[in-house]
Structure 1
Amino acid sequence: MGLPNSVSAITINDVCGSGLKALHLATQAIQCGEADIVIAGGQENMSRAPHVLTDSRTGAQLGNSQLVDSLVHDGLWDAFNDYHIGVTAENLAREYGISRQLQDAYALSSQQKARAAIDAGRFKDEIVPVMIQSNGQTLVVDTDEQPRTDASAEGLARLNPSFDSLGSVTAGNASSINDGAAAVMMMSEAKARALNLPVLARIRAFASVGVDPALMGIAPVYATRRCLERVGWQLADVDLIEANEAFAAQALSVGKMLEWDERRVNVNGGAIALGHPIGASGCRILVSLVHEMVKRNARKGLATLCIGGGQGVALTIERDE
């Protein structure tokens, strides 16, 4: 089972935006007539990221050698300012006046929404169960492991700041380190009709922007505005929004700038609860958005993410009435 060797493939390295950028490139390929059907998405195994011996090829001289954690170096480090990406969330908290209390309350809400969605089975349609062998037994993984059943305001308040001893960003109000994968099948309307396949949604517009790397988390504001301008929508026209929660401070800063209706955003929780496997998150939020739009018979949707290093991406979709 699977794709034949004759099918070509490409890997996208756009950090947090990879999964959504893959959909954009797939859209372009179909529009340009280079492909009829494209499977696009992303995956990440953060738990398996290796430590790297950087001087192994040239040979270590006298003295100690250093192992580099590729998880942090490749995915969680701002190369422009030479600090952890979490520091950019502290920058946003100060820039936009986002208190520790607001961040913890946002994180708790994300956990509660995700837990309620899991208990109600709202993710069942979008999750493909994975079977693994463990100690001679077959285990079925069909539920996200990250959401906390014991999350509480008191527990979040007890956590120490993670990146600045006087700061407000903690392990509890930031997204977590996770493994994950997501994918979608894309094709033209004509091809879907020829194959008699249902169309769940249509991609209407895509946008990517660059911002100050020190404030990378605010990029979804500008990506969203550009994307909406390209499709001719107002933010009030959008029925549902999936905005990746890199950090509560980041998500709250974006919401403050865009002044969107929080009741339409991440209705089943976000990355603070569900996790943020970097390469997968862009497609994951799009998949969650599509399925929730189907359940609610919603017509217009928006997915957006910030990208470490100072970028942002956004994509709009529409379903037929």
Structure 2
Amino acid sequence: MGEAVIVEAVRTPFGKRGGAFRETRPDALLARTLRGLVERAGLDDTEVEDVVTGCVTQAGEQGANVGRLGVLLAGFPVEVPAVTLNRMCGSSQQAVHFASQAIAAGDMSYAIGCGVESMTRAPMFSDIGGGFEKLNPDLLEKQELIHQGESAERIADRWGITREDADSLSASSHQRAGGRSEWPEILPTTGLDKEGNEVKLSVDEGVRPSVDSSKMAALDTVFREDGVVTAGNASQLSDGASAVLVADRERAEADGLKPKARFLSRVAVGDDPALQLTGVIPATRAALKKAGISINDLDWIEINEAFATVALSWADELKPDMDRVNPWGGAIAHGHPLGATGGGLMAKLVAGLESTDGQLGLQVMCIGHGMATATVIERI
């Protein structure tokens, strides 16, 4: 049985929906990331034994097993297989879990967990031809499946979160992201500016280093007239890709590679489908218990800011040091390309621990229909 370690983790910058990557196919974004990953790691692509890919909207240019298409487009040998999975927002975090579990089982020496999503070119719900009305009526009689925005409002009700609380977290997310002096996990990636000229992005497109609090407060709520959730305190719709190279530690070190981190726990949980975004709370508790640590032992935490109310309710329950939570900002600022975000947050987590000489990190993500994924890693 092997010890699974992270050798390298990268992501593209996250582009706005309809922004810099509007003319870039998702399979091309994924190919760019896969090629950049192995080049940065210094690994020959012939050594990769599987590529596990997260993608939520598997339709159009993201259909037909986009993971395999990305592998072929990246110029990997045809002998390198790939699979595409959908655990909704946790898809590429789950891809990393599956890759690392294959390594730990001794089935492989090198595997990649990755993800991609172009919310511009493959809009949400296009895989089912519409919204919730396309789901099985018998299922809807059994479970109250609602839009995540309404779930976020119910979370605000239950935890007493105000509009001001949500807007404050949003402003902090942008300020932290805008205040970064380094973006080590990002692969500079070619896109287009507003005029259609080719540009190379090296930072996330949606970050606003300076937030006008009066303009944020003036934004209309989206899901309830007297609600909390606005476009300003929810994650941005985005385009991007991410990839994490996982290896057997003994093999990687024998090949002259330097592992960056090892896995202490991997968790996936189910939770209330109506509240649907609160799974981050039991997932965090389970991941910490499996790792044998407490929330106070963590040096860096990445929680996906799908909505500000998710992060705020989680913080109310777990009581973390908020200075260690999303220190470089979160999805409200840098965006949330659904299938790519999990790998992207892992890349941020690894880079953040390296940047601060930290040891222990947590990544946790809420997932549609009431699920969550969580990972605890230890920097080597």
TM range (shorter): 0.7 to 0.9
User: Aligned partners of 2:368, 2:126: CA distance in 1, in Å?
Assistant: 24
Report the CA distance shift for 1:52/1:33 in structure 2 as closer, same or farther (over 3 A). Answer: closer
Instruction: State the match for 1:15 in structure 2.
Output: 88
Instruction: State the match for 2:106 in structure 1.
Output: 33
**Once the 2 structures are TM-superposed, how far is the Cα of residue 232 of structure 1 from its aligned partner?**
0.8
Match of 1:151, SS state, is coil
Match of 2:186, SS state, is coil
User: Aligned partners of 1:10, 1:178: CA distance in 2, in Å?
Assistant: 23
Instruction: State the match for 1:43 in structure 2.
Output: 116
Code of the aligned partner of 1:130: T
Instruction: State the match for 2:302 in structure 1.
Output: 242
**Once the 2 structures are TM-superposed, how far is the Cα of residue 82 of structure 1 from its aligned partner?**
4.3
1:215-237 residue CA offsets vs partner (Å, 9 max, x unmatched): 12211111111111111111111
User: Aligned partners of 2:80, 2:110: CA distance in 1, in Å?
Assistant: 11
Instruction: State the match for 1:286 in structure 2.
Output: 346
User: Aligned partners of 1:202, 1:234: CA distance in 2, in Å?
Assistant: 18
Match of 1:47, SS state, is coil
Unpaired runs of 5+ in structure 2? 1-73
Instruction: State the match for 1:64 in structure 2.
Output: none
Instruction: State the match for 1:221 in structure 2.
Output: 281
1:79-133 residue CA offsets vs partner (Å, 9 max, x unmatched): 743432110000100011001110011100101111111xx2x21x211111247
- Confirm or deny: 8 A CA contact 2:145 2:369 kept in the other structure: no
Instruction: State the match for 2:56 in structure 1.
Output: none
Report the CA distance shift for 1:133/1:236 in structure 2 as closer, same or farther (over 3 A). Answer: closer
Residue 126 in structure 1 maps to residue 185 in structure 2: yes
Unpaired runs of 5+ in structure 1? 55-66
Superposed, 1:79-158 pairs within 5 Å as 80-117=143-180, 120=181, 122-123=182-183, 125-132=184-191, 138-158=198-218
**Once the 2 structures are TM-superposed, how far is the Cα of residue 202 of structure 1 from its aligned partner?**
0.7
- Confirm or deny: 8 A CA contact 1:49 1:70 kept in the other structure: no
User: Aligned partners of 1:282, 1:318: CA distance in 2, in Å?
Assistant: 17
- Confirm or deny: 8 A CA contact 2:132 2:145 kept in the other structure: no
Report the CA distance shift for 1:185/1:85 in structure 2 as closer, same or farther (over 3 A). Answer: same
Q: Give the TM-score normalised by structure 2.
A: 0.75
- Confirm or deny: 8 A CA contact 2:148 2:277 kept in the other structure: no
**Corresponding residue pairs, total:** 301
- Confirm or deny: 8 A CA contact 2:111 2:246 kept in the other structure: yes
- Confirm or deny: 8 A CA contact 1:46 1:71 kept in the other structure: no
User: Aligned partners of 1:151, 1:268: CA distance in 2, in Å?
Assistant: 16
Report the CA distance shift for 1:73/1:11 in structure 2 as closer, same or farther (over 3 A). Answer: farther
Code of the aligned partner of 1:237: D
Code of the aligned partner of 1:319: R
